[in-house]
Structure 1
Amino acid sequence: MTRPTRAGRLQAVTAAVTLCAGALAAGAPAAGAAPAARCTTPRLTGGWYGDNRARLQQLIDQYGTCNPYRPARTKPVAVFDWDNTVVKNDVGDATMYWLLRGGKIRRPASGDWSATSRYLTPAAVRALAGACDTLARPGAPLPTGTAAGAACADEVLAVYGTAATRAGAPAFAGADHRTVEPAYAWLAQLTHGWRPAEVRAFAAAARAENLAAPVGATQRVGSTTATAWVRYYDQQRDLIHGLRQAGFDVWITSASPQPVVEVWAEGVGISADHVIGIRNTTTPGGRFTPHLRGCGSVKDGADTMITYIDGKRCWINQEVFGVRGAAAEKVQPAARRQVFAAGDSDTDVSFLRDATALRLVLNRNKNELMCRAYDNSDGKWIVNPMFIEPKKQKSAPYPCATTGYVDHDGTPGPVRRADTSVVPDQTDSVY
């Protein structure tokens, strides 16, 4: 047998190394190494309307990890509203009811109820003072869970729930109707004086009660009967799990207080650093003040830009994509926007419109949102009935061409597409 020359042996070794490197580059395991786990695209379970599950699965298949990612490819972002989108009923409401029953709302430290919201009307300030101020010293918790405090609980609940006093006077005025909802903001502002961990503990207690209560349960708050149950939607929990498993960066945005949504989001595997709720400013000692964090061009304490309609866009741009200053209030280039969004209300319209690939709407008969979803001008909207106690079909068409849109000053007008054309009235067809 002819022995190979030294040069020949060197060429053989070089060829072997080249072949091995090529195999590794192609994904072949090195000798002795365990085979790499095969990437499996998650499959969604049932319970969806029409072809919605197929559309959502297509989104996962197209953008998920198994597609696969290019080196250093940015994760696709998915953003969900919370109340009545991921859960049935409102966790902010559930927390308000618990705070009132437990006597955890403090009288304003200044003694002046206008300190709790710049939007409270003089009529509301007088009504709250008359019903509550004799019950506690300034800064102390009000005994709203007792018989003596029932009238105070009723007044707070009327202002929060109906935006009017018990006597029927408007409770709020002067807000930008597309960046702040004063009643939603007021719940966060009424946690003043407590530390974030304490508010999380209150929310956890309310969560336990509402999940344990049977569907349809009610409770007494003051002299008022209120909803007493909340449920996670199994389909949304499954969707969030599937998106995360497929490599999506999943966020929650909500117009409920930040600590409250943090507690509830744990139930679908979303950590606090991926929750964007209404955020209070804090004192040097770490207690919540009645003022709120700002976004975009809005400074902390101005209380004019919460996670509400255009405010949700700002907060998502700022917290998820790192856009700073006034630019955060604007629509961003497609590469700096979420590929998927889910919501149920007009408060979600702006961040849903920003989603580049697919937008899921749960039908709660909200005018502007349903006008845009049914118009579906770019083919990226899908509508699903509520998974628990779905709404009946809306008998009249949505007034898209006349009053479906509410402007910054509260003036109603037509819903317009991006090209300014008017959306025609839409018939409710998914219910």
Structure 2
Amino acid sequence: MQRKWAAPLALAAVTGSGLLAAPPAAAAHTPCPRVTVGSGWYGDNQARLQQLIDRYGSCNPYRPGRTKPVAVFDWDNTVVKNDVGDATMFWLLRNGRIRQPAAGDWSTTSRFLTPAATKALADACAGLARPGTPLLTGTPAGAACADEINAVYGTAATRAGAPAFAGWDRRTTEPSYAWLPQLMQGWTAREIRGFAAAARTENLAAPVGSTQRVGSGTATGWVRYYDQQKDLIKGLQKAGFDVWISSASPQPVVEVWAQGAGIAADHVIGIRNTTTYGGKFTPHLQGCGSVRDGADSMITYIDGKRCWINKEIFGVRGAAAERVLPAARRQVFAAGDSDTDISFLRDATALRLVVNRNKNELMCWAYDNTDGRWIVNPMFIEPKKRKTDPYPCATTGYVDHDGTKGPVRRGDGSVVPDQTDSVY
């Protein structure tokens, strides 16, 4: 949708302490309830988030007559603990919902699968089902097939240790993430939402720390919403923010989970399949920016997240969606936990919340914090221990499009020095 902007959203002023400055005095306005941020945050993060709401919320006299300020959250390990894509994959394998590819040719499920992975999958899954029908991966006879699929998905390698993917752009896609929706081929979005709902029920009911059997092995068996993030989302919405989710999990899966945090399906941006006339998923993915549908190379991942946010939230089409928009047409707030979130976090103009999972490039940016708009919070459940070695920002913290590692560089080209982990 095309958003109409009545006037630029001013950047929040930053004080010497890095806190958002108080808004300028304004004429009297109609009173309305003040939205407050709940407790359970690290350090002064609650105060920083409160200042964001006070600065941009609809009760502030700065807001009347202007387009709603946009807030964008990543999903997995940002709003919830653990990964809803993983939870769905494990459910699909346990319940035999992944289909044998046409002619048993696994190369049709991802253009980035290596010949070694294609052969390993074909060997492990041969004879379990006719092409186009579900594989019996939830049975003893299908355990080897489940194990091979799970290895390729979870480790990007075959069980024998051969690389499973090759030839992808490291800044626009992650083939193992993309492979999950590609393996959903032959099902409709409605059917996938049903699978995701069943997995959600199981994972929320399972005790924290529990595992489940997948194939011949075990996998994480639980997911929890972060209460602090649910409260923050609710508060932002109440204060008049336009709140969105951008996730590298499949679109229908995130739609199901996002409802539990008060986010409607039309405010979710996940990995999106192309479909047949009957609405069944194909193994190909929708494109963004200059990438055409079916190219499978621009998912909601690093620069791909920027493209999809610019496309779906701000109505930008074509190659322009891949570029950084003017400040007045960007989200004021963003929250994430991983290197996959770097670009859309950097695009946020007022405040950027990072959940610390010890991810190199992201933590280099968060701790460098040259503009005072980054805040870091430990994971709300089972937080990571302090990283003992500095983040290698000056040497290998950045991963280029071809996978080459190098220094993390600021916008002016200067190198970010190594950073010490201080929020844990």
TM-score (norm 2): 0.93
SS of residue matched to 1:149: helix
Candidates 222, 225, 228, aligned match of 1:232: 225
Residues 385-429 of structure 1 show CA distances to partners (whole Å, capped at 9, x for unaligned) of 000000000010000000000000000000000111000000000
Q: Identify the residue that residue 270 of structure 1 maps to in structure 2.
A: 263
Q: Identify the residue that residue 125 of structure 1 maps to in structure 2.
A: 118
Question: Which structure 1 segments of 5+ residues have no match?
Answer: 1-24, 28-35
Candidates 211, 219, 238, aligned match of 1:245: 238
Offset at residue 110 of structure 1 (A): 4.0
Q: Identify the residue that residue 396 of structure 1 maps to in structure 2.
A: 389
Q: Identify the residue that residue 367 of structure 2 maps to in structure 1.
A: 374
- From the superposition, tell whether residues 70 and 95 of structure 1 become closer, same or farther in structure 2 (CA, over 3 Å): closer
Q: Which whole-Å CA distance do the structure 2 matches of 1:97 and 1:71 have between them?
A: 47
Q: Identify the residue that residue 349 of structure 1 maps to in structure 2.
A: 342
Offset at residue 172 of structure 1 (A): 0.2
Residues 75-104 of structure 1 show CA distances to partners (whole Å, capped at 9, x for unaligned) of 000000000000000000000000000000
SS of residue matched to 1:185: helix
Offset at residue 161 of structure 1 (A): 0.3
Candidates 292, 305, 309, aligned match of 1:299: 292
Q: Identify the residue that residue 319 of structure 1 maps to in structure 2.
A: 312
Q: Identify the residue that residue 206 of structure 1 maps to in structure 2.
A: 199
RCO comparison, higher one (Cα < 8 Å, 6+): 2
Residue pair 2:57, 2:63 contacting (<8 A) in 1 also: no
Offset at residue 165 of structure 1 (A): 0.3
Q: Identify the residue that residue 387 of structure 1 maps to in structure 2.
A: 380
Q: Identify the residue that residue 411 of structure 1 maps to in structure 2.
A: 404
> Considering only CA atoms, is the larger Rg found in Structure 1 or Structure 2?
1
Q: Which whole-Å CA distance do the structure 1 matches of 2:60 and 2:44 have between them?
A: 22
- From the superposition, tell whether residues 26 and 215 of structure 1 become closer, same or farther in structure 2 (CA, over 3 Å): closer
Q: Which whole-Å CA distance do the structure 2 matches of 1:71 and 1:167 have between them?
A: 61
Candidates 49, 52, 66, aligned match of 1:56: 49
Residues 210-265 of structure 1 show CA distances to partners (whole Å, capped at 9, x for unaligned) of 00000001000001110000000000000000000000000000000000000000
Q: Identify the residue that residue 289 of structure 1 maps to in structure 2.
A: 282
Q: Which whole-Å CA distance do the structure 2 matches of 1:213 and 1:416 have between them?
A: 43
Q: Which whole-Å CA distance do the structure 2 matches of 1:160 and 1:143 have between them?
A: 18
Q: Identify the residue that residue 363 of structure 1 maps to in structure 2.
A: 356
Q: Identify the residue that residue 114 of structure 1 maps to in structure 2.
A: 107
Offset at residue 26 of structure 1 (A): 7.7
Aligned residues: 398
Q: Identify the residue that residue 272 of structure 2 maps to in structure 1.
A: 279
Residues 286-336 of structure 1 show CA distances to partners (whole Å, capped at 9, x for unaligned) of 100000000001110000100000000000000000011000000000011
1:163 equivalent to 2:156? Answer: yes
Q: Identify the residue that residue 98 of structure 1 maps to in structure 2.
A: 91
Offset at residue 134 of structure 1 (A): 1.1
Q: Which whole-Å CA distance do the structure 1 matches of 2:276 and 2:146 have between them?
A: 27
Q: Which whole-Å CA distance do the structure 1 matches of 2:269 and 2:38 have between them?
A: 27
Residues 121-159 of structure 1 show CA distances to partners (whole Å, capped at 9, x for unaligned) of 000000000000211010000000000000000000000
Q: Identify the residue that residue 86 of structure 1 maps to in structure 2.
A: 79
Task: Give aligned-pair identity as a percent.
Answer: 81
Candidates 395, 404, 425, aligned match of 2:418: 425
Q: Identify the residue that residue 180 of structure 1 maps to in structure 2.
A: 173
SS of residue matched to 1:148: helix
Offset at residue 68 of structure 1 (A): 2.9
Residue pair 2:55, 2:62 contacting (<8 A) in 1 also: no
Q: Identify the residue that residue 76 of structure 1 maps to in structure 2.
A: 69
Runs of 4 or more consecutive aligned structure 1 residues displaced over 6 Å after TM superposition: none
Greater Cα shift, 102-111 or 245-254:
102-111
1:135 equivalent to 2:135? Answer: no
SS of residue matched to 1:168: coil
Residue pair 2:146, 2:214 contacting (<8 A) in 1 also: yes
